[in-house]
Structure 1
Amino acid sequence: MNYTTQMDAARNGIVTREMEIVAKKENIDIDKLIKLIAQGKVVICANKNHKSLDPEGVGEGLRTKINVNLGISKDCPNIENEIEKARKSIEMKVDSIMDLSSFGKTEEFRRRLIEISPAMIGTVPIYDAIGFYDKELKDITADEFLDVVEKHARDGVDFMTIHAGLTRKTCETFKKNKRLTNIVSRGGSLLFAWMELNDKENPFYEYYDRVLDICEKYDVTISLGDACRPGSINDATDASQIEELIILGELTKRAWERNVQVIIEGPGHMALDEIEANVLIQKKLCHGAPFYVLGPIVTDVAPGYDHITSAIGGAIAASSGADFLCYVTPAEHLRLPTLDDMKEGVIASRIAAHAADIVKGVKGARDWDYKMSEARKNLDWDEMFRLSIDPQKARRYREESKPKHDDSCSMCGKMCSMRNMNKILSGKDINILRDDE
């Protein structure tokens, strides 16, 4: 059976291999999944050339997914270090890896990453353009930008961040409504500079139909980038952000007319009490398309701890309806993350995603917590470690401070509530001070 994209297949009632895998993983009825994909409310990012992919669904009613960012830069160009991070993130069961490489042998790294990764792969082609052409930003042509998009698609990238909503009109709104931190999106700032230097329209907006041609050909999901995402809580939910979001809603419909799947990217830095409203606005303006958020980072004062600030915001965003969390590491705003930074970011994001899935009523989410609580009640340490979101750390903490009695921990000892309640409810004596069991 012939089809161009997962959305095209869904709209024609064709059940793809990828749909079958996702339906089984999510414990969702296949007919319901097909309907959601046809409506654009769920996407399966699955480039036809990504042969090692183990497909995942992103969107309404499904488990909240998490993404890891990595890639080489001019200051840190070591490919092997980034491959090690990729392998570790796959081991930690991330759903997606974004290659944000911006310098050096980006093509070699991207192809190796796609070859080894069962997780979906995303990129931001504009990051790669400067290094690929070895030209100053101003001198890159619209055709050259689009050629990089096609190159990434041909290599097997499953989704791409395309900042098509930053138009000349959006730029004027930005200039008239001053921000504390201006445009903090790297791709957005590069496009803004290119447009100003060349006095031209955003090529990804002007030639959006050509972008759709590429995406339809390879079944690449467009992740419509939030060039105007707030870089401080002061700038959240302002005119620039909302105007861009309106345009992204229009671009979403244009993509769907071509059976191209769409994800919408979102903020950014944002106070707690604005997050739920932002998710609601996105879902309304972008017609229920899956929402992919960076954080949100809920306070600006915690460099070194932004995996925590983002996990707080991510849990609120996902419980309010966001579908996809981009992890943030302790190194955010400070440096390229190390392997340990990446681990901390992954765990924080997984906690946030799971906490939200409990609220959203995702099938099986509460079962995990029930089993952990059961293991705690039974003082079954091996089962607790097995069920832990980070088994290695849980086991290490236990080993570093062993109690005298195995049915307790070094915090409470024989005053352990679980131990004593188990004993008293089974008719046994409680011996806190005596040395016998």
Structure 2
Amino acid sequence: MTQITAARDGTVTPEMKIVAEKEGKTPEEIREGVASGRIAIPANVNHASLSPEGVGGGLRTKVNVNLGISGDLHDEEDEFAKVAVALELGAEGIMDLSNHGKTREFRRALIGMSSAMVGTVPMYDAIGYLEKALVDITVEDFLEVIRVHAQDGVDFATIHAGMNRRVIDSFKETGRLANIVSRGGSLIFAWMEATGNENPFYEHFDEVLAICREYDVTISIGDAMRPGSTYDASDAAQIAELIEIGKLARRAWDAGVQVMVEGPGHMALDEIAANMKLEKRLCHDAPFYVLGPLVTDIAPGYDHITAAIGGAVAAASGADFLCYVTPAEHLRLPDVNDVREGLVATKIAAHAADIAKGIPRARDIDNKMSDARRRIDWEEMFSHAIDPVKARRYFESAPPSTDGTCTMCGKMCAMRTVNTIMDGLTIDLDAR
């Protein structure tokens, strides 16, 4: 029994109860959301260390961290340091995007230690796992890799099933400035062009779903045609694929498999809200998982900011799950500091959106921070900060000469002044 089949049978699972407690909802509200497909609880039956999270309408916006071993930088110790930062800062999801060599040992270790849900893109692993040239990989090979990931305990798997021949024809006919920027999508496109076959994940979608159902893997239907340039956003190829994804989402639910839908990408600020509504409409309110969107293409080194801006608008407009972007985006594999900066920026975007959406209890922590600032309680302020380590480091790097203040205002601290007056005392503003 999967989460969605249990929900449809009227059963509240232990995972639903945990999500309800985290979200301030009743278990029945969560069950109803899962039953309808509006909420997904990615929870592979083999992921024993998981602390379940809900992704979907009416819930807190969740944040994902990407990491993994690459061909040029394949230091597992570095990647586990990134995992530690992700867990420390409260990322709800970690995607292992390893694409070099035999990655199964790393993936199993990650799943064994991670309380966050773990996702993968089996297509990335296919060439290294199978030790075959791309054009020699068969449909059975692709399915075998998905099964291995499912057996290992992966909670959600990105499967680029929506890019079928109809979508490819649309892409070729209309053209693009940046072509296909999805790594998985580009590999499938290359395989299709070389073999003349249909997308194997589209053509054999029922077999993919059978594997997912067996282990309760949530299928995250990948957007192979996501725009990698603001110029390409909302174009024919993107929308054509989204229409196909909407059809596949219904098939997955009918098969007892939970669904998330992946989205852009790069997108101008004024297009984001409409795209979020379009996804919800075409994909029947399935949870929406977006990368950014990055709202400009000219900020390498600062793309965590361009993505956080877009992510805040996206989540406030209906996106449910934000994939972080680091300062290293478009430049190199991120290091541990990049992971911290990217994750914090995305968590800010998610939290800001939750306040805007009126998510229950979202504003509580902000109110606590404001109260601590009024009382000038530095320790309490640090405890409420998204990144308490950085907040403390900044404060302690420039000790104030006046207790209870910081070096920005010193004796002229507004909080200190008003607190003193409200206590019936005289404030000392001697300029010396």
TM-score, L = length of structure 1:
0.98
Aligned to 2:138: 141
Structure 2 counterpart of 1:234, which letter?
Answer: Y
Instruction: Report matched runs for 1:378-417 at 5 Å.
Output: 378-417=375-414
Aligned to 2:201: 204
Separation of aligned partners in 1, 2:241 and 2:89: 34
Give the alignment partner of residue 367 of structure 1, picking from 343, 359, 364: 364
Aligned to 2:342: 345
Q: Is the 8 A contact 2:382 2:392 kept in 1?
A: yes
Q: Is the 8 A contact 2:182 2:224 kept in 1?
A: yes
Aligned-pair distance for 1:178? 1.0
Could you say what the CA RMSD is over the residues aligned between the two structures, in angstroms? Answer: 0.9
Structure 2 counterpart of 1:47, which letter?
Answer: N
Is 1:35 the equivalent of 2:32?
A: yes
Is 1:190 the equivalent of 2:187?
A: yes
Separation of aligned partners in 2, 1:91 and 1:226: 29
Aligned to 1:276: 273
Give the alignment partner of residue 9 of structure 1, picking from 6, 11, 34: 6
Q: Secondary structure at the match of 2:228?
A: coil
Aligned to 2:68: 71
Q: Secondary structure at the match of 1:365?
A: coil
**Structure 1 segments unaligned to the other structure (5+ residues):** none
Aligned-pair distance for 1:429? 1.3
Aligned-pair distance for 1:424? 2.1
Structure 2 counterpart of 1:196, which letter?
Answer: E
Q: Is the 8 A contact 1:225 1:265 kept in 2?
A: yes
Aligned to 1:243: 240
Query: 1:234-258 deviations in whole A, cap 9, x for unaligned?
Result: 0000000000000000000000101
Q: Secondary structure at the match of 2:363?
A: helix
Query: 1:246-271 deviations in whole A, cap 9, x for unaligned?
Result: 00000000001011000000000001
Structure 1 counterpart of 2:196, which letter?
Answer: D
Separation of aligned partners in 2, 1:156 and 1:146: 16
Query: 1:327-371 deviations in whole A, cap 9, x for unaligned?
Result: 000000011100010010110111111001101111111111001
Aligned to 1:312: 309
Q: Is the deviation greater in 277-286 or in 102-111? A: 102-111
Structure 1 counterpart of 2:139, which letter?
Answer: A
Aligned to 1:223: 220
Is 1:80 the equivalent of 2:81?
A: no
Aligned to 2:22: 25
Is 1:233 the equivalent of 2:225?
A: no
Q: Is the 8 A contact 1:77 1:104 kept in 2?
A: no
Separation of aligned partners in 2, 1:354 and 1:329: 18
Query: 1:183-233 deviations in whole A, cap 9, x for unaligned?
Result: 000000111110001000000000000001001111000000000000010
Is 1:108 the equivalent of 2:110?
A: no
Aligned residues: 432
Give the alignment partner of residue 160 of structure 2, picking from 158, 163, 178: 163
Structure 2 counterpart of 1:198, which letter?
Answer: T
**Structure 2 segments unaligned to the other structure (5+ residues):** none
Structure 2 counterpart of 1:54, which letter?
Answer: S
Structure 1 counterpart of 2:298, which letter?
Answer: V
Structure 2 counterpart of 1:275, which letter?
Answer: I
Q: Is the deviation greater in 97-106 or in 197-206? A: 97-106
Query: 1:157-186 deviations in whole A, cap 9, x for unaligned?
Result: 000000000001100100011110000000
Query: 1:305-342 deviations in whole A, cap 9, x for unaligned?
Result: 00111000000000111000000000000111000100
Separation of aligned partners in 1, 2:216 and 2:392: 43
Query: 1:28-86 deviations in whole A, cap 9, x for unaligned?
Result: 01111111100000000000011111101100111110000001011111122112211
Aligned-pair distance for 1:142? 1.1
Structure 1 counterpart of 2:393, which letter?
Answer: R
Aligned to 2:147: 150
Q: Secondary structure at the match of 1:105?
A: coil
Separation of aligned partners in 2, 1:406 and 1:386: 19
Aligned to 1:46: 43
Give the alignment partner of residue 377 of structure 1, picking from 374, 378, 399: 374
Separation of aligned partners in 2, 1:99 and 1:32: 31
Separation of aligned partners in 2, 1:411 and 1:119: 38
Is 1:120 the equivalent of 2:131?
A: no
Aligned to 1:178: 175
Q: Secondary structure at the match of 1:427?
A: coil
Structure 2 counterpart of 1:208, which letter?
Answer: F
Q: Secondary structure at the match of 1:143?
A: helix
Structure 2 counterpart of 1:227, which letter?
Answer: A
Separation of aligned partners in 1, 2:78 and 2:49: 21
Separation of aligned partners in 1, 2:373 and 2:24: 27
Q: Is the 8 A contact 2:272 2:314 kept in 1?
A: yes
Separation of aligned partners in 1, 2:255 and 2:261: 17
Separation of aligned partners in 2, 1:391 and 1:406: 20
Query: 1:389-415 deviations in whole A, cap 9, x for unaligned?
Result: 111111111111111112211011111
Separation of aligned partners in 2, 1:372 and 1:91: 20
Aligned to 1:297: 294
Structure 2 counterpart of 1:404, which letter?
Answer: S
Is 1:329 the equivalent of 2:312?
A: no
Aligned-pair distance for 1:426? 2.8
Q: Is the 8 A contact 1:96 1:120 kept in 2?
A: yes
Q: Is the 8 A contact 1:68 1:98 kept in 2?
A: yes
Q: Is the deviation greater in 408-417 or in 79-88? A: 79-88
Aligned-pair distance for 1:434? 5.9
